Amino acid sequence: MKRVELIAPCHFGLESVLKREIIDLGYEISKVEDGRVTFIGDAEAICRANVFLRTAERILLKVGEFEARTFDELFEKTKSLPWEDYIPADGKFWVTKAASVKSKLFSPSDIQSIMKKAMVERMKIQYHKKWFEETGASYPVRVFLMKDVVTIGLDTSGVSLHKRGYRQLSSKAPITETLAAALIMLTPWKKDRILVDPFCGSGTFPIEAAMMAANIAPGMNRSFTAESWTNLIPKKLWYDTIDEANELVNDDIEVDIQGYDIDADVIRAARQNAEDAGVAHLIHFQQRPVSELRHPKKYGFVITNPPYGERLEEKEALPKLYSEFGESFQKLDSWSAYMITSYEDTERYFGRKADKNRKIYNGMLKTYFYQFIGPRPPKRTVKNEGEA
């Protein structure tokens, strides 16, 4: 496959984290927009992006981009794209998702059906066929309209990349794996520092941190739609990518990662999830209320997703909960705390104004990532060889 543009959607407000990840993976960024980063790659990049990126929601192979203000324009311009370069004659193809923002064309179902018809008309001409059985591999199409600009991509991932394959059991309000990973990356936490999540729920923050510490690629243990695209991506590239991921794993490490929750059933679920992720030996889970948050060592990190109180009866309990959290954290005088919540009185009851605050959309819910930054630990002095 020649060099192509690949689109990686992400959570709004976290584009800079994903951009850094893509650059670290060795690829060139071509565009950064709200909720997505576009980069240049080839067939191997599709495999590696799916397997290694922790904060992308999926990887789309960009087929085309054009302006369309009428359905006739949408039909003709979709028909003019070289679909035969991507989809074989027996391929199963459909427009799985259409999203429209500030555009004249706004009906997702109409956009989907018109684009499907246009694709069929193009492929009828190219393959000299009147009917497509669609018995082969799946080629789902996603389209996004922004101010009348239509961007079309083939979905190489299939199930969203936040589905790592380890979280079979969830707590009431789980944070997605991709969002948890991105938030950890927004902090200065590294594997040699302590990390505690006092509202760990299904264990997503501790598990994602442990996977980072052990260099376990997030997509190692799942499958992707594009694995069956043998017309575009040789199977060997997928095998090579998994081999690369396996070689990078180092789970024989010493870390201090802990997860607490007041609910014993939730802690059992978190332990099972950690087991399925291959990091159970790196995390200490314990049933414990936030009022008992403590640690004997200095310069640790609290990274957490406390209850938001989306239901009225839960909201009444939040002042006490956040006050207990704040009081416990005060005693950890050299620590830093990072929490994502939509609770508007967070700072009031936590008892401290955040040093930094970042707006992040968790799905359709507007949340804030409050950052209470503690002092840096003193630099370690490396003694010369032969010194006592």
User: What secondary structure does DSSP assign to 162-226, as a single string?
Assistant: T--S---S--SSPPPHHHHHHHHHTS---TTS-EEETT-TTTHHHHHHHHHHTT--TTTTS--GG
Q: Are 190 and 300 in contact (CB under 8 A)?
A: no
Q: What domains appear along the chain, each with residue ranges and CATH number?
A: 4-155 (3.30.2130.30), 177-216+251-372 (3.40.50.150)
The pLDDT value recorded for residue 308 is 86
Structure tokens at 44: 């191997």
What's the pLDDT score for residue 174? Answer: 75
Query: DSSP secondary structure string, 69-136?
Result: SSHHHHHHHHHTS-GGGTS-TT-EEEEEEEEEES-S---HHHHHHHHHHHHHHHHHHHHT-S-----S
Q: What is the pTM of this model?
A: 0.94
3-state secondary structure of 260: strand
Residue 359's CB is within 10 A of a number of other CB atoms, namely 10
What is the predicted pLDDT for the residue at 387? 46
- Residue 136's pLDDT is 98
Please, which residues have CB within 8 angstroms of residue 208's CB and are 6 or more apart in sequence?
A: 54, 177, 180, 181, 184
Question: What would the two tokens of residue 17 be?
Answer: 């984290």
pLDDT given at position 171: 58
Residue ranges of the chain whose pLDDT lies below 50: 385-388
